[in-house]
Amino acid sequence: MDTRWKRFRYGTEDTNPSWSFYGVVICLSFTLIFCGAAGDNDYWWIVGCGFTILSVMFLAYLNIQMGNGKDDPVPIRLLDGKWPDLWLALFLCGVYLNRHLLWSRYNMAVNRVFDRIGFMDEFFVLFLFLFFSTVSVAAAVVFLVMSLTRHLYKNKWMKTLFFYRLSGRLKRERRKFYEAQASLTSQGKAVRIWRRRRLCFLCLRFALASIVLLYAGAVYGEEDMAFLLFAAAAVFFAADVRSVMRTAREIGVLVSEIQELSEDDCQTKEPVLPPNSLFRTSEEELLTIQKVKKESLEKQLQSERMKVDLITNVSHDLKTPLTAMVGCIDLLAKTDGLPQEAKDYVALLSVKAVRLREMIQDVFDMAKATSGGQDLHMERLDMVRLLRQTAADMQERMDASGLIFRMKLGKEELLFMGDGKKLYRVYQNLLENTLKYSMAGSRVYIEAGEKDGKVLASIKNTSDCEMEFDADEVVERFTRGDKSRSTEGNGLGLAIAQSFTVACGGEFKVTVDGDLFKVETAFRLVNV
């Protein structure tokens, strides 16, 4: 009998595997029969195992024969059709789900046949009926397996498999889902997506658990159902832990990147989160902000360096002709026989030249302080002595101003570390600021003390004009309290004082309260 299998396989008639097909079906049938009869006789298990080994050998040889001549196309018959993997999976699932019922009845039928072994005529008829019934089932299984095998050998066989097409469809749907998710995430709806995903996952998990428990309750006993319930709970708990850990890790990455951004760590980075993460778009936007901030900071630093270089070069170039002008003015002032009017002009030129020289020096000092290029000679200083010395050097101008100075410095030393020359310039600028902008006849308070391990110094005065500015604005470069600019000054005094104070490791604070103007400095106290 020709199974016409040679039309379904690779190879020639000389390698027709019909006998292999029959061998698989017959051996598989005897395997089922003797395993079913093993309940009454343990020796039948040995016979059943032998037929099982033969079935595997015949099936392997049949598959090898189908692989001969791979260059020829394999015809797919109507029997094969589409989705052989689905039909095989459904058949095996049906057998597995009803294995207890089917096997118990089959076992009873086999035992009934072998019980009549003493009556040969009756036994022979029953055995043939049992054998052909078993052969039909075995042949169906082998046909499905070989149909799947022919699809495996066929070119582009993957497209004909149900589970392959199902996985492709799921991948496309997943890609569409992630595209929609990315669109919503870019609109700031990541939390809503995460909540919706968690809700869908919980509903799916509840449905699967219900199906498993209903089937377990209908087929198995209570103990098996409890075990399945525990196993399902363990699996779902592990899935929840994995989801929470993943979300926590992604949030931790965002938090660390935000912290780096707040700490001015503007190093360029690549996204760390996976492309399908809910927070991937947020991370990319955060890294974009970090990149823009870095570029802006670099441009700002470059512009600041260019300004400092320009001011430094211009200040240096102005010093040479200004020095010559001051020398000539001094020579003119010492010349005898000049008319009084000429002497007045020379005196005016001398005053303006000195003021111009001071302004150029202020600009030069400000440029160096801004660039951080000034040299500091740190030493132990006494705040009380520093303020007294600065006030003593300016005593003549303070007496001529008509202001009332009140100094509350105490007698104890207030030691701190700083550059003496730079800090002398700081308090000199602050006192000059009070001389220029204090109300006539008002009081100026100069105080020093210690609080919370810091050396504090403050200078308070009452302004002679309405202060239409805030504390941060007045310490900017070239900003003056007198917007009409009717008084002397170049708007650099407070800016230089602040830069020198910060450079020496101190704190500089300006307070404006109505007409009260107060400047405070603070340095870390040094114990003796």
DSSP-derived secondary structure for 20-55: HHHHHHHHHHHHHHHHHGGGT-THHHHHHHHHHHHH
Q: Which of 9, 32, 216 is nearest to 136 (CA)?
A: 32
Give the pLDDT of residue 50.
Answer: 75
Q: Give the list of residues 6+ apart from residue 212 with CB closer than 8 angstroms, or none.
A: 228, 232
Distance in Å from the first CA to the final CA of the chain: 115
Q: Say which DSSP state 525 is in.
A: B
Which position has the token pair 């109505």? 514
Across the strands, what pairs with 459? Answer: 446, 519
Residues 339-364 have a mean pLDDT of 78
Residue 1 pLDDT > 50? no
Higher local confidence (pLDDT), 321 or 243: 321
Question: Distance (Å, rounded) from C-alpha 502 to C-alpha 498?
Answer: 6
Range of 12-21, 184-193, 199-208, 327-336 with top mean pLDDT: 327-336
Q: Give the list of residues 6+ apart from residue 141 with CB closer than 8 angstroms, or none.
A: 28, 91
- pLDDT-wise least confident of 116-120, 377-381, 511-515: 116-120
pLDDT band at 228 (very low <50, low <70, confident <90, very high): low
Across the strands, what pairs with 510? Answer: 519
Full set of structural domains in the chain with CATH: 5-160 (no CATH), 166-262 (no CATH), 298-374 (1.10.287.130), 376-524 (3.30.565.10)
Pair 44, 37: CB distance under 8 Å: yes
Residue 521 pLDDT > 90? yes
pLDDT digits over 245-291, tens only? 777 677 777 777 777 777 766 666 777 777 767 677 777 777 888 78
Q: Give the list of residues 6+ apart from residue 220 with CB closer than 8 angstroms, or none.
A: 228
- Phi and psi for 54 in degrees, rounded to 5? -65, -40
Give the pLDDT of residue 95.
Answer: 60
Strands 443-451, 507-513: pairing kind: unpaired
> HEC string of 167-194?
HHHHHHHHHHHHHHHHHHHHCCCHHHHH
DSSP-derived secondary structure for 405-417: EEEE--SS--EEE
Give the pLDDT of residue 211.
Answer: 67
Residue 193 pLDDT > 80? no
Alpha helices in 372-418, H assignment, sequence order: 383-393, 395-401
Question: Distance (Å, rounded) from C-alpha 499 to C-alpha 492?
Answer: 10
Q: Give the list of residues 6+ apart from residue 149 with CB closer than 8 angstroms, or none.
A: 63, 66
pLDDT digits over 302-328, tens only? 777 777 677 667 766 777 777 788 788
pLDDT digits over 411-455, tens only? 788 899 998 888 988 899 899 888 888 888 899 999 999 888 899
Range of 62-66, 210-214, 450-454 with top mean pLDDT: 450-454
pLDDT digits over 3-32, tens only? 444 444 444 444 455 667 677 777 776 676
Structure tokens at 451: 């609080």
Q: Which amino acid is at 176?
A: K
Higher local confidence (pLDDT), 259 or 112: 259
Surface-to-core class of residue 310, CB atoms within 10 Å of its CB (0-12 exposed, 13-18 middle, 19+ buried): exposed
Residue 522 pLDDT > 90? yes
pLDDT digits over 452-503, tens only? 889 999 999 988 877 776 766 776 644 544 554 445 555 677 888 888 888 8
Question: What are the C-alpha distances in Å from 252 to residues 192, 263, 277?
Answer: 19, 16, 13
Higher local confidence (pLDDT), 347 or 170: 347
Write down the pTM of the prediction: 0.45
Give the pLDDT of residue 320.
Answer: 75
Q: Say which DSSP state 11 is in.
A: S
Number of other residues whose CB lies within 10 A of the CB of residue 397? 11
Higher local confidence (pLDDT), 4 or 299: 299
Pair 481, 474: CB distance under 8 Å: yes
Residue 190 pLDDT > 60? no
Mean of per-residue pLDDT scores for the chain? 71
Q: Say which DSSP state 463 is in.
A: B
Question: Distance (Å, rounded) from C-alpha 423 to C-alpha 148?
Answer: 91
